[in-house]
Structure 1
Amino acid sequence: MRPAYSFDSITPPENWRQLPWGEWLQQQVAAGLDNWWPRLFGYHLVKLGPLAVDLNSRLCSIRHQVAIHDTGGDAWGEMDDLPLRCRSVDACIMPMVLDFHQDPHGVIREADRVLLEGGHLVIIGFNPVSPAGLGMLSPGCRKRYPWKGRMFTPSRVRDWLGVLGYQVVAQEPLAFSSLLWSPDRFLWPQQWMAQQTPSLASVYMLVARKMAVPMTPVRPRWRPRKRLVTSPAAVGRTVVNRRQR
């Protein structure tokens, strides 16, 4: 297993059109998020990355929404150094951010820093163990998006979230196309995979909830004094005499 940190800088796509069949892919991601927007509650929603800017979140009950990425948006900021206070955000959306960042661990830790306890973190990414992962085997494809980035399996991302104390409440498949050709081709295999092997989706979505960590109880320094028994045999005879009475 390759380490998560990459010593080479990775340039993320600036918009969905830089991805193969980007408009179709954006529609699939938007359809998956539409089922979850009404379930996110709070006062502040942050959408991270350049691809998050074009995602319509009108169905979300959170009214104050801010898009942040390093080339524009509502606010400028690095994904691993957000210009936000600790525990100030109720929900955070990250579409294809981990796949195109040099330090995915740092991105998740930074999102965890700004999230309130009970807040939700939504991660969308490409799955290397999927039809889309076949492009990683081609040297020509590795020069194009999304294969020029990095893909992490959903189980690996779940492990990262578990270390930080998150509860994954849902894992949903969003697309099964290999993105090597038109998504309209080979529809029957895609439908079969959606029914039989949803874990092999090319694009997945993880919805995790930040759990409140209970405080570790502090043991008292004092201890109750025990009665000093000078003659255990005498105490035993006293107990026997009482029973005989």
Structure 2
Amino acid sequence: MDHPLPEKAIIALGPWLETPVGSYVRAWQQERLDMLTADIFGFNALQIGLPQINALRANRMPNKWMTDTHLPTDSDSAPSRPIVVVHDFAELPFASQSLDLIVLPHVLEFAEEPHQVLREVERVLIPEGQVIVCGFNPASLWGLRQVTSRLTGTPFLPEHGEFISLPRLKDWLKLLSMEVNRGHFGCYAPPCLTEKWLSRFAFMDEAGERWWPYLGAVYMVQAVKRVRGMRLIGPAWSKHTAKAPRGVPVTNRVQKHK
């Protein structure tokens, strides 16, 4: 690489995930990601950012990559998997229409150019490829706590995030011809800082899913890239089964983690 990449504010979310409330969020997201990605098939999958969460753990594609804006330092919390590509989130170093699945855990709300990130995601996804977006829900008790705590100088969540509402995210995806087919809300406990109080409010997770499902502190959205005039109805098998591609061409900005 010719010059170091600027470190995005998302890196502040890594240490936050090690706190009691961060662990609560991470556990819910890991469970949902395992459920959503287990049945998504293809050859090439990519997780962009937040290596503290192993978003592709349950996925069975032969080629899986973890990327970030920087390699981990001694002060960073340990990543769940090695980072194999370092890049600017607004410029994905992958060929167009080369990836089957992309997971964006809290990338858009901490990115400098979230629209450009999504445009790049649409570019590198194959037709009918899928993207999963994780984010904090501003229409929740946590979102309200974040707004009020900023006034006092003690933000509950990492302060540099620009949290995106679900309707707004759906509009962005629709403009890029990506159709939302699944959505989940979770983490209904009040914005508590200690494990003791989070445990006391554990009952609210089940109650929230039933009575106020859209007020969860975090959401997860799964969308499919649609191409006008194209409809995939299944693989065309021949007597000579084609071998899976070994990998995806990337630019010369790939940096291996040693």
- TM-score where L is the length of structure 2: 0.73
Q: Which residue of 1 aligns with 2:32?
A: 32
Structure 1 residue ranges without an equivalent (≥5): 1-8, 216-245
> What CA distance in whole angstroms lies between the structure 2 residues aligned with 1:140 and 1:98?
26
TM alignment of 1:182-221, pairs within 5 A:
182=194, 183-214=198-229
Could you say what secondary structure the match of 1:12 adopts?
helix
Q: Which stretch shows the higher mean deviation, 100-109 or 188-197?
A: 188-197
Could you say what secondary structure the match of 1:55 adopts?
coil
Q: Which has the higher contact order (CA 8 A, sep 6+)?
A: 2
Q: Is the contact between residue 52 and residue 95 of structure 1 (CA under 8 Å) also seen in structure 2? A: no
Q: Is the contact between residue 47 and residue 53 of structure 1 (CA under 8 Å) also seen in structure 2? A: no
The structure-2 alpha-carbon separation of the partners of 1:98 and 1:141, relative to structure 1 and needing over 3 Å to count, comes to: farther
**Matched residue type, 1:71:** H
**Matched residue type, 1:33:** L
* CA deviation after TM superposition for structure 1 residue 144, in Å: 5.7
- TM-score where L is the length of structure 1: 0.77
Structure 2 residue ranges without an equivalent (≥5): 1-6, 72-82, 231-258
> What CA distance in whole angstroms lies between the structure 2 residues aligned with 1:34 and 1:118?
20
The answer on 1:89 being equivalent to 2:99 is yes
Could you say what secondary structure the match of 1:213 adopts?
coil
Could you say what secondary structure the match of 1:125 adopts?
strand
Q: Which residue of 2 aligns with 1:243?
A: none
Structure of greater Rg: 1
Q: Which residue of 2 aligns with 1:154?
A: 166
**Matched residue type, 1:102:** E
The answer on 1:131 being equivalent to 2:141 is yes
* CA deviation after TM superposition for structure 1 residue 52, in Å: 3.8
> What CA distance in whole angstroms lies between the structure 2 residues aligned with 1:162 and 1:77?
26
Could you say what secondary structure the match of 1:99 adopts?
helix
Give aligned-pair identity as a percent. Answer: 25
> What CA distance in whole angstroms lies between the structure 1 residues aligned with 2:154 and 2:95?
37
Could you say what secondary structure the match of 2:200 adopts?
coil
The structure-2 alpha-carbon separation of the partners of 1:76 and 1:164, relative to structure 1 and needing over 3 Å to count, comes to: same
Render the CA deviation track for 1:109-161: whole Å, top value 9, x for unaligned: 11111111000000000010011102222224665633431111111101110
The answer on 1:62 being equivalent to 2:74 is no
**Matched residue type, 2:179:** Q
Q: Is the contact between residue 48 and residue 107 of structure 2 (CA under 8 Å) also seen in structure 1? A: yes
* CA deviation after TM superposition for structure 1 residue 184, in Å: 1.8
Q: Is the contact between residue 80 and residue 110 of structure 1 (CA under 8 Å) also seen in structure 2? A: yes
Could you say what secondary structure the match of 1:146 adopts?
coil
Poorly superposed stretches of 4+, deviation over 4 Å? 141-144
Could you say what secondary structure the match of 1:171 adopts?
strand
> What CA distance in whole angstroms lies between the structure 1 residues aligned with 2:154 and 2:91?
28
The structure-2 alpha-carbon separation of the partners of 1:82 and 1:46, relative to structure 1 and needing over 3 Å to count, comes to: same
